[in-house]
Amino acid sequence: MSAHAQPAGPSLVDRKLPPVTEVGAASMIAVAGGVIYMAAYLPKHAPIWFALVLLAVAAGLQAANAFLLWRIENFAWGRFFQVWRWSLAAYLLIAGMIEFAFVFDHTRGTALVLLTVLLGLFMLNVPVLIAFTVARYQATD
Amino acid sequence: MAVAAQAAPGLSAERPSFEIVPRKGLPIVALVLIGVVVAIARDSRWGLVFCHVVGGGLWTGIDLFVGFVIGPIIGRMSIPARIEFSTRFMPKMLLIMPTIVTMTLAAGFQIARQDAFLDTSNPKHAWVVASFFVVGVMAVIALAYLEPANVAVLFELRKPQPDGQVIERLMKRFVYTAGITGVMQVVTLIIMTRLVS
């Protein structure tokens, strides 16, 4: 193979795609904010309204991301779901460990429910960001 | 799309074959995570301090060393050398970093609970909340930008003819965020030393 060979076909670097990474990062900021807010009060219970607002923002942004992804045409969906599945398995393990720590510390009731939902959003968000970043530079299926 | 793809010189030269996730490292990751779970479950002071200090030291050390020593060196290497280094280095980082981060945070949270730093009336509580904030910033950068770029570069390098523009675009994320990560790690060192002094 020539050391100066050109890849076949056009570069995928300038391909116009929706801002999935940016929306996902904003959702992650909301999730991190919610977890930090709740964890800062543990083992006592934090006033939940602020965490609920952050949770709603994070969930809304992830729903928006799902919609943005759904609308993309000519995308490497095979590669996207391959990476998404494995990343989800890894983040399921990480989120499970964090959840275990909260339960072990006797976090209960509303605080545990909120933290679990926030962790669930975190667990779903990261694999989407990894899979999207990989698939956007892959040739269409 | 009219833009012709450009492979940087040397990109399509012979590259070492590699696994994106090195399977040989998975048992070590499993052992480390089991160790952390056991330390938490047994509430072992030594085990938690060991996990937190070892993990935290590695995390901060690797971040600063890679960002400010290795990174600039890689930037000045020839492209074939850069590719060979990346194909050997980045898969390992994909296992090492999430493992030591999980180990550090899980153990650190338990130590904070044991030392009553989580209690809002504790005079050092504000330092713990500050550390949560710093970790939050680093988590967003690492998980939303760096880890996806790391995986995408490895997928690109496995192609028969990788696109140099794609790799350059993705690697810029590491350059742009090295400064923020470096500042956050120095702030972490200040917070942690304040907490135990």
* CA of residue B11 relative to chain centroid, distance: 25
Query: Mean per-residue pLDDT for B22-48?
Result: 94
What is the structure's pLDDT at A136?
Answer: 92
How many whole angstroms separate alpha carbon A25 and alpha carbon A21? 6
- Which of chain A's residues have a Cβ under 8 Å away from the Cβ of B90? none
What is the structure's pLDDT at B6?
Answer: 47
What is the structure's pLDDT at A1?
Answer: 36
How many whole angstroms separate alpha carbon B108 and alpha carbon B33? 14
In chain B, how long is the greatest CA-to-CA distance? 63
Q: Is A38 on the interface with B (CB under 8 A)?
A: no
Q: Confidence class of residue A43 from pLDDT cuts 50, 70 and 90?
A: low
Is the pLDDT confidence value at A2 over 80? Answer: no
Give the residue from B51, B156, B157, B163 with the most A CB atoms within 10 Å of its CB, the best one to mutate: B163
Complex ipTM above 0.90? no
How many whole angstroms separate alpha carbon A75 and alpha carbon A120? 26
How confident is the model over A65-115, as pLDDT tens digits? 999 999 998 899 999 999 999 999 999 998 898 888 888 888 788 888 988
Within the 104-133 window of chain A, which residues sit less than 8 Å (CB to CB) from chain B? Answer: 104-105, 126, 129-130, 132-133
Instruction: Quote the pTM value.
Output: 0.86
Domain range annotation of chain B: 23-196
How confident is the model over B127-144, as pLDDT tens digits? 999 999 999 999 899 889
